[in-house]
Chains A and B, each alone.
Chain A
């Protein structure tokens, strides 16, 4: 019976532990300094806004771990001794392992600017950040968010729920401009304005100004604007949380370097989730994948290896989702801001409802490469199938009803979408009614 020690109790570490436990009697220990039990950090914002309490964010009841014989250690790991196969904890104890899984997640990036150490400046990634945010935003009237990504908009929504006025400083010329094509970025920009958030595009921070007691008083942009505020939210991304591994002998670049089996340079040490960096990422993927789903998928794959069946990471088509204030976003496949010359794009947007659909496809063959939707839910299994099977754009648009995942009674937009496509491409496509028979086949049920 081996002892598997997992550092980190986020989605990667916990998924790995659960899946190993399902099929093995190995001793399993999860070490985390963040919280005693696994919680969903995706829900941090909802705790602050009062939609949920911390206890609601825990996917498993507290007795789950004992029942499944998974030992939880609520401690900070100071260092890993790969030679003697043990980890040293902050309280001085050390734990021997046979196999070590590094699932220690990310830490927030900090901008290197004057005033970054003043009181009232913070990021939002872990539970401690949430606790700090409660303290840091008490009595605050004006806040500035630095960065226009997903955490930035979440922080903005959180602050709005406490009636704090928010200014967002975004470097790009459009909201989330690095990821979203222009039309979608503009639509989200309008929605942000509708919520009375001041969105300053193309602006960068030059300095944070403090008052006598060392708290934030204002920020200064590179254009020379001064914006008074008592809170600054930093949302310029996250990076692997690996500094404690510096002298361990484990090969590290930005993250823990791994092959496509999540193996590090040292036998019996693996890394998954945000902290891992592929030496050679799977086709079309980034070396560091920092979303919930990939963390889970890494762990699903590694669990098989730990159970004795050495398995390579083979992700399917990319997918992700988010919510910008009231607008839901889903993406399947790849929809980059700029498309290649041999590709075509199609975009439809509702006149006033903040609903949009975008598809990217191969010009010559019509093969679907990716889809973005806002304000419209799509069925993951159908989109995955279409992309994997190189489905033709004309088929996709006429069978969009099969993919619709909006609640019953919702308005559908398939007709409008196809009309626009027909007009632009001189085609005569017609919508085809949803068929459960086709769905069962596609979803393999």
Chain B
């Protein structure tokens, strides 16, 4: 046994140590409570068991992660990613993929299995009653459970991410913001505001979830609900319209679409935190890029046509026969199957941004702004690229970053969500996300630095 085996700070641990095992056990205990409840068991002492479930997962994950990362010097931690079952489409990867896919299928089409009742809840939903009651004074339903678990995943795995990338202040700051926005704007604030709404006319109150991502914003029911809720409803109506017409394009002009996709958005938040382990699984092939462009712009066109139809029907009262089925088709195919079942369920198989890359109409829309009218770019650093491929491998959006970097070309791509991981994993300091003047931003025929100018054409 060498000295390093005895050291308490062995910087390259293999497997989990005792403290990590305690962390894992805590998280497993929490998960077990959720699974037992999901199996239909209705706990008596719900506050206690819910605390065990949520607290166990949160504390357990943080204990495990801090033990894993804080015992090593800060730096890039991708050792073994391609060797592990979880992160390399192995057995664990497939198991989690099937579990998540199944979860979404149950959530969307068999919600009664979660235990939502007309008067009293049972099972998993009942377990969340105390929390729901605390936040909004009412009982839980399956979407409250979903929102809670979703926020918990962003929080606990977001903290793990921050520990993992603590050497990089861009990553640290961005993740802190995305966690806080998920917890506040997407979870706590809407739940609190819920009690202020009229019970017969409620609408969803995640204020930063803009159309066209929030495709049902212009649904007749939603518009009516906002109109019936006085000032509160008006606030959300105005914010919702100004959000996608004015705010989104203007901020995207200054910072690129990253402000939304990897700093604010809930889907992006989950992808960046819970999905971080799977970013290397996105395909970098040219054919994948081609499929991506066809799919994402089709969805954008679909949502525009669908919404136009819905609005026409809302104002004229006509055309329900066309706009109704269009709206249902979109909700079923895009809203449920694409963004949920595939979007999250396929994390361990196709990478953590399947939805953001191939489907999200919001990403498509501000992506066009980013491509054609924005100050954002990823600058490549002269002649320093060694073509190693870390950047492309870890690009969750499947951009072949290296292709640009090795020819000294700035990366100006509509799909880039500005997560900044390419820059973080680059061993030679070649990539920098930055906002700057439009002049010189797109350099399609770049010159690599290295040779004297007179040696070039």
Contacts and interface: CB of A to CB of B under 8 A. Distances in A.
Contacts of B14: 163
B169 A297 contact: no
Interface in B413-457: 420, 423-425, 427-429, 432-434, 436-437, 439-440, 443, 448-452, 454-455, 457
A405 B2 contact: no
A408 B286 contact: no
Contacts of B73: 191, 194-195, 325-326
A292 B383 CA distance: 10
A293 B83 CA distance: 30
Given A51-B82, A142-B2, A407 B170 contact: yes
Interface string A282-314: 000000000011001100110010000001111
B83 A50 contact: yes
A330 B384 contact: yes
Contacts of A436: 436-437
A138 interface: no
Interface stretch (A40-48, A71-79, A110-118): A40-48
Contacts of A381: 381-382, 449
A11 B403 CA distance: 14
B381 A408 contact: no
Contacts of A377: 381, 429, 432
Contacts of B78: 49-51
Nearest to B455: A314
B421 to A, nearest CB: 11
Interface stretch (A26-34, A210-218, A315-323, A362-370): A315-323
B81 interface: yes
A49 B432 contact: no
B173 interface: yes
A432 B78 CA distance: 38
Contacts of B76: 51, 326
B389 interface: yes
Interface string A431-445: 000001001100101
A384 interface: yes
A343 B387 CA distance: 36
B390 A46 contact: yes
A52 B384 contact: no
A380 B451 contact: no
A331 to B, nearest CB: 10
Interface residues of B, number: 66
Interface stretch (A53-61, A87-95, A246-254): A53-61
B393 A408 contact: no
Given A50-B79, A316-B451, A326-B73, A410 B170 contact: yes
A380 B432 CA distance: 12
Nearest to B5: A165
A443 B450 contact: no
A93 B381 CA distance: 43
A268 interface: no
Nearest to A196: B4
A196 B450 contact: no
A301 B455 contact: yes
B120 interface: no
B220 interface: no
A299 to B, nearest CB: 11
A407 B450 contact: no
B386 A40 contact: yes
A161 interface: yes
13 contacts: A49-B79, A51-B393, A51-B425, A163-B14, A196-B12, A319-B449, A323-B428, A325-B73, A330-B428, A330-B429, A377-B429, A410-B168, A440-B439
Interface of A: 11, 40, 42-43, 46-47, 49-53, 56-59, 61, 141-142, 160-161, 163, 165, 191, 194-196, 292-293, 296-297, 300-301, 304, 311-316, 319, 321-323, 325-326, 328, 330, 377-381, 384, 405-411, 436, 439-440, 443, 445
